[in-house]
Chains A and B, each alone.
Chain A
Amino acid sequence: MKKGILTDLFATFAKIGLFTFGGGYAMIALIENECVEKKGWITTDDMSTVTAIAESTPGPIAINCATFTGYMQAGFAGAVSATLGMITPSFLIIYLISMFFDNFLEITFIASAFKGIKVAVGILIFQAAVTMIKKMKKKLRPRLFMITAFVAMMLINIFSLKFSTIWLLVIAAVANVMIYTITSMKKEAK
């Protein structure tokens, strides 16, 4: 293991964490610039593999990339350093904000601003969903799953039902495994 690699991993990912706004995909470009081009820690090929893995695994994409790069460079300790580096700046910033945010909202013009911002958040979430739908495979089954989840979630929201969103995901996973098993059995029978 190279000397000082753990500090270097921590510092590099702290820099990435400090300078990327909006999370997720915005970070991938910066990670690529730092880790592939400047440091040569991983290859472009590795980068596309980890992006693909990130898309199929839960959790923040930036964390996936940091853990992967750290692990490739310096094993478990490297993974811990890189991941901690990624989290530390935003942790400190948000922790500071949380200490005075309530008082901050008592200022009239800030409260007015947030009444406007509330509207923007709804639109941002809606637009994110539209982007995801555009990227979706244009097939019947995923569309059916998507629409069913949409209707179920609307009903849960409108009637304030006590039904955890996680159950919707579990049901979708089980249903799709069952469909897969049945269709592959049919194929074998032929």
Chain B
Amino acid sequence: MIYLDLLIGFLKVGCFAFGGAYGAIPLIRDVVMSYGWLSDEMFTYMVAVSESTPGPIMVNLATYIGSQQAGFLGAVLATLGVVLPSFIIIIVLTALLKTFLKNPYVQAVIHGIKPCIIGIVLATGVYMMLKNCLLKNGVFSPDIITITITAALFVVSYVYKKTKKKQLSPIMLIVISAVMGVIAYGV
């Protein structure tokens, strides 16, 4: 049943998404792909939309996917799924188990998961870039336009960082890439 799938799928994300929004993206991608809810391309678009609209990125992605799959109730259940684990954990920790996180075994679990998430996020970013530049419908076929846009975006964010001494904001990078897309692929 789609409602139950949405709730359980996003509960899994909510339970394992250490490391903020970017830590959650590979998990959500995994859940979405395994149920066949969105294409890889549509998922990437939604990451950009979630990044450019207010609110927590995880909540935005959950709301969109839930709504796409099963309307308003689907959106509510998916959002609930992603929020509920952290809600419960915080209440339990503040109310009852103030020393729980200091337990060495709990620390060992956290310190095992965190670097693993970083590796997964890195692999997701690298794979997305390679796929954009080198694959077309799953077949090896380098795309000159995408390679050029990728290189240009890296140059822009590098130059910005060097001159302004701070990272270019994600929304600015998205806006610049949108302009490049319109120039490259036409109106």
Contact = CB atoms under 8 A, between A and B. Distances in A.
Contacts of A175: 112
A189 interface: no
Given A23-B55, A149-B119, A177-B108, A87 B83 contact: yes
Interface in B155-187: 157, 167, 169-171, 173-174, 176-182, 184-187
Contacts of B93: 53, 57
Given A119-B150, A129-B121, A83 B181 contact: no
B56 A60 contact: yes
Contact of A53 (B30, B101, B131, B186): B101
B30 to A, nearest CB: 4
Contact of A90 (B56, B121, B123, B154): B56
| Interface range on chain B (Cβ under 8 Å from partner) | 35 or more
B116 A169 contact: yes
Interface residues of A, number: 97
Contact of A146 (B118, B177, B184): B118
B172 to A, nearest CB: 10
A57 B85 CA distance: 9
Interface of B: 12, 14-22, 24-27, 30, 34, 41, 44-45, 47-60, 63-64, 67-68, 72, 75, 79, 82-83, 85-87, 89-91, 93-95, 101, 104-105, 108-129, 131-132, 146, 149-150, 153-154, 157, 167, 169-171, 173-174, 176-182, 184-187
7 nearest A-B residue pairs (beta carbon)? A116-B181, A90-B55, A59-B86, A176-B112, A149-B119, A126-B125, A153-B123
